[in-house]
Structures are given as C-alpha cells and as structure tokens.
Structure 1
Amino acid sequence: MILRVPDYFDEFECIAGRCRHSCCAGWEVEIDEKTFDYYKAVPGAFGDRLRQNMSEGEEDSFILINNRCPFLNEKNLCDIYTELGEDTLCETCTDYPRVTFTYGNIMERCLGLSCEEACRLIFAEEKPFRIVEREIPDEPVPEQETQYADDTDEPEVDEDEEDVDTREDWEYIREARDYALALLQNREKPLGARLEEYLVFADRVQECLNWEEPWKIEAVIAEMKTEQKLPEYESDFALNQLEAMRERAGFYEPMEILDEEWPGTLAHLLETLAGEDKTEADYIGLHNEFAEFYHDRYYEWEQILCYFTYRHFMRAVYDYRFLSQAKLAVTSFLMIRDMDVVRYLDNGHRYSVEDRVDVARIYAREMEHSEENLENLAEDFDFEEIFSLEQMREQVRAIR
C-alpha cells in the first residue's frame, strides 16, 4: 500500500495543556468498541470512574461535563493518559487531528484544519503544498470487500486485449485532483484567475464522471494545459458581490451547530459586512483594503484551498461528485476570506499569524466535523443558483 501525506504531516506533535482550544472540549468523544470493552474491565477506583462517565449505546462515548470530557483536568491534560498510558486512549483521541482516507491501494492522510497546532504547520511556510509518499504494509481488507456481486470467481482478463485500458477510476480522479492542486499553485497568475480556471476544470471533469467516462479526464487535462483563454459564457445577470456574500452566508445559518463560537461568529460577520447600511462599494472597498495589507501572505489562502482540495476531492471515487468538492473548497475560502476581513477590522486593521490560525480553525471546526453540514452544502451546490458555475466564476473574478 502507498501512503501519501503532506510534507509537514510527520512534524505534528500535540501541545496538550498549551492548546487554547482543546479537542477534548465542546465535542462528543466517541469510544471505539475495543477500547470501550477495555475501559469496562479496568479495575480499581479509576476503573469505576471510567464506567461512571461512559455512555453505552449506538455510539459509545464519554458523558461531557460542562461541555468538557470528564477526563480533561484543570490543566487541560488527560487523566486517562496519565493513569493508564498513551496506548490506552481510544481511537478518536489517538488519531485526531489526523484524517485518513483510503481508496484503491492508496492511503492518504492529512492534519485537520480544526486543530490550532495543525494550522500552525499548514501556514508555517510560504513554500507550495507538497505531497510525499512511501510504501507501508497493506492493511487487511474485510472479507466482504473481496467478494463479487454475483459471488462468482474474479473475472479473467484476456491477455490478448493489450489495448484495453486497465486503469481504475480512482487513478483518473486522483490525477484530476493533483492537477487541480497544480492550478491553485500557479503563482504566475492572480489568485482569482487560478480559482476560475480551477472551477472550469472541475466542471469538465464532472462531465466525464457524469457520462461514466473517467478515462476522458486525461484529455481534459491536456486541453487545459494548452488552452490560452477560458471560454466565456452568456449571462443575463450582473452579480452584486455583497448580495452574493449575504446569500452565501445564509446557507450556513440553519446548519447543525458543533461549536459555541460559530453562531456568534456568523452573526458578527453578517452585521459587520452586510448590515442594512452597507453597500456593495463598502464591501468591495474593505476587501481591497485587506487584500493590499495581506498580499504578501496570499500563500496562506493558497494553503487553505490546497487543504480542502487534498482532503475532500477523493470522495469523488465513491460518489462521483468532483465539482461539488471544488465548490466546497472555493465557498469555504470565500467564507474564510470574509471572516478574515472582519477579524482585521476588529483588530484595528491588523491581522497576525495567530489570527490566521484562529479564523481557519473556527470555520473548519464547525463545518468539517459534521457530515450533515457537508451534505447540506453539497445539495446547495447542486441546486442553488448562487453556486452555479457561472455565478461562482463571477464571485472569484473579483479577487485581486
């Protein structure tokens, strides 16, 4: 099996009690079955404490106390780690913020943007996002995954059919994802132009997948590499950037709330940038001011876009929703960009690296840990006009 990770992946170390936003507070901590059985058998007073603070059900978990894990002490350290050792932690606590996605013979891992220390690594350097890979032992495949639908033997391949394309769908989709990363990192072009090209490319890949012809992705990539100019489109609307922002943010209001910071953050965003007294000229002027201030740090925005592209695009291996993941990356970037401007104003026209970490963390903590929220957004991307290819192209064209 091949393991692929960002080049900073192995540098991560949990900062434990020094973390300002502990992953042991605010979220339900699920316990895997093996660890749950172990905790039920731990003897003595600490074992009693474990059993008193666990909830058994469809999803075994710890019972939060004041929205904190009952084993997170006053120093923001884990009592289970101290009492029983690191190897007794449940999978949730051991893995976070590491995220794993497997397809074909590939395992891809990354660090979640919802962790502040992971954010510091992601934004630490100006160098482009880079994937490194190495071989690892194959993971055991569940027996049912090796069976064929009709319970027959594995079909034979005719050795005489030399011209038959034997590549798997995931190979074409990964090639498309990696090319999308390259488009985002073409620093010879303005960021807005990169994003427009990125969306057009994702739309063309989606067309190949809609027709169940993933092998045509290679031709799409070749065409994009030689194309001098993106095709124009007919439009009967003049996009108002402020109205687009209001509508875009509105889709986040009814979603599942995972973090107590989020409702206030979203309300403050709308009040600051889109209040009744605000005009499109105000909105564009503030973004232009921040862009001038932030321009030497555009690589941080690039890293955000590469993060969402690397982490989410390969879901298309299973659902063929490639364009939806591109819209998620761009929409998330646009939301974070609006949050950046608000933080900049709140800080008296300053914006530090710690602000960059905090804003990205707040957004990812709310959005990436809810399949319900991600699925609701995916449906909006499919059906809402504000998320049409044409309107999204208009939104990113305004980025300097």
Structure 2
Amino acid sequence: MKLLNEISSSFWGLFRSPNREIYIEALLKINEEYQYSNYFLSREMCIQVLGDYFSRRQVEIEREQEEAEADTLEPPATRILNWLIRTRWLRRQEDFVNLSVNIVIPDYAAVFIGAFERLIGEEGDEADIYIQNIYANLFSYRNDPRASIALLNTALVNTRRLNKTLQDMLHNMDKFFTILLDLKFYGELLRERLDGYVEEIVKKKYHILKTSDNFYLYKADIKQWLKLLREEPEYLELTIRRGGKKLELSEAVRLLDDIERGFDDIERRIANMDREHTRYVRVTVSRLYYLLNKEEDTKGLILQLLNRMSREEDPEPLIRKTAARMNLSRRELLSDKSLYRKRKPREAFREKLQPEEAPKELSREELLSLNRVSAKIHQRRDYRLHQRADGGQGCGDHRRQRPKRRRF
C-alpha cells in the first residue's frame, strides 16, 4: 500500500484522457530510452526522443480539460512531456551540480509501464524463463556449498508464476472460439486460423510445450532432486542455518512439497491446453464445412430456422407450426433400433428349441471294442505307475516281465 499512497489523483487522468493511447506510446518510448541510458534522461533528451518518434506519423492531440491555451501551442513532444510531468507519470529532478533538469520515472509509474509493455508486447518466452529459473535455483541449491533455504523460496515463487502464466494462456484461448462465430467467409476463417491462432498460440506460446527445449526437458531432473532432498534432512538443516532464519525442518519439507505440487498442477494445465487445442481444431473444421456449404445443407437450414425462432417475441406459434409440418429428428439419431421394444416371453424361446434325441443302443461288436480300448488304457496306466514307484530303475526287467495282452 506504500506505493499506492504516493499516487496522486491526477495520475488516473491518463485512463480517462482521449489521448491515452498517445501518452502510453510516449511512456513506453521514454522507458525504452530510460533503460538504455542507464536510468538517466535529461529533459532535452526526452523531447528529442518523442519528437523523433512522433515525426514519423501525423499525431492529433485533443485538448485536455486542465490544459491552458498556451499549452496547446507547444510542439507535440513538449506538450506530451509537460502533461505527463503534470499528472505525475514522470517527475522532474533538479541537478544543481550540473545545472540541468533530469526526468525520472517514479516507482509506482514503472509498475504501470511494465503492465503496458506486457499488454502491448509479446510474451512468448515468459514460460521458458520461469522453468529455467526453477531449474537453476534447484541446481544451485543442490550443488552450491553456499546455498541457503532462500533458493527454495525463489523456486516456489517461479513455480507459481509459471502456473499463472499457463492458466492465462489457457484462458486466452477462449477468445479464438468467439472469433470463429463472427467470421462469415471461409477466406477470413483460414486467415484467422493461419495468421491469428497459429502465430499467437502455436508459434509463440504453445511451442514451449511441444519443442525439445521445454517443460518436460527439465521436469525429470527437478522431480529427482526434490526426491533426493527429502531423503537428506541433514542437508536441509544446514541450508536453513546458512539462511540465518529461524525455520523448522518441517517447513523446509513443506516447501519441497509445494514445489512438487506446483509441478503436478503444471502437468494438468498442459493436458488441458492439449485438449483445448484439439477442440479448437475440430471447431475450426466444423465452421469451415458450415461456411463452404453456404447454409444449404440440413444443419444450415435448421440453424436458420432456430435463428428465426429466436427473433420472435413469442416463438410458441412458430414452434407448433414447425412441429406440424416437419420432423427434425435425424435418422442417425432416431431409428427403429433406438426405440424401446418389449421383451419377448420365454415361450418364444422354448418354441425354437430342438427336440432332444433318444440315446442309441450299442451293438455287441461296439461294446467289445469299447472294452478293448478301456483295457488298454488301464494297462498302460498301471505300467507307468509301477515305473514311478521303482524310481525309473529296472526298466528292462519290467519291460521283459510285461504281462501279455488279454485277448477277447
């Protein structure tokens, strides 16, 4: 709340101003030169930077409510700079040694300028930075003899930021579904698919999940280090003492658990992004098919009918009229197979049964043949049992003393 208390009421006038886009561009340009000049800019240098930037195009600045008539006669660069200083987005700092005036960016204004950069600029590599930071923090914590428990806290912060970044990426994919419904021609849809979705999601954001230099490259090592650190409580206590803070061993273990839980959440969010990406591809194909058919197929005509009903204040008469003339059920969805059929009684099953055949009586020759086969089977079984009882010895004697076959 300390920085918030430093903000004056005129500071918020930028968001109400009709020239806010021009002021935001000026702040971003000054901040870029501010960093390049090692956070030191004179008033003359600011005017020169803004003059060079806005001289490339025609700029129309509307008059602000608090501006005097004399202010509107100033050049655009001077006028913009004076307004930003007056509303406390920039601050004048007198240098009495060099007898010059420097322009500095207050801390609270730097927070908003950073937000403007994120809103306007590209943030494709942000997730790469977070995962590499986590990897570097845990690697240093494990191998650096001077490491303290503060590295674990930093790794946890970066894990949460990576989770937040992936969640924002997932939420931003919803806007592409809305854009699809607004496109009326298949040429626009292909342009949106190739130039919009592929450029912004697949190449800039989604690529971190699919290339070799991504989350999965670091995940295995990080999981292994977390497991080894849990098995080394002495090392955890040593790093706690190096940090100089009164921290229990259980709190250090909880940090490891939070980092691992954060990685599990990251995996779930990546799986959700895979699912949303697949769903978007299916919706794009369906929308393209719908536009190519020019609403002349069955689905297109049904959609026209539903849109007509939705425009009616009382759609009930139109619904009844439609129901009297049309059957809107598709044959693939509603057929004779999908309707309920009454189960047939058991009598119908019994009627289809074949009558049982009566057992056939055997003749004298067939009975004698069965007896011979049975005798052979019993004889061979007794012979094998006798061999097993003797342990396989005297096989020749047994073979010579083998009883003769009985003849019938």
Q: Give the TM interval when normalised to the shorter protein.
A: under 0.3
- RCO greater where, 1 or 2, for CA within 8 Å and sep 6 or more? 1
Taking structure 2 as the reference length, what is the TM-score of the superposition? 0.20
Taking structure 1 as the reference length, what is the TM-score of the superposition? 0.21
In proportion to residue count, which structure has more helix? 2
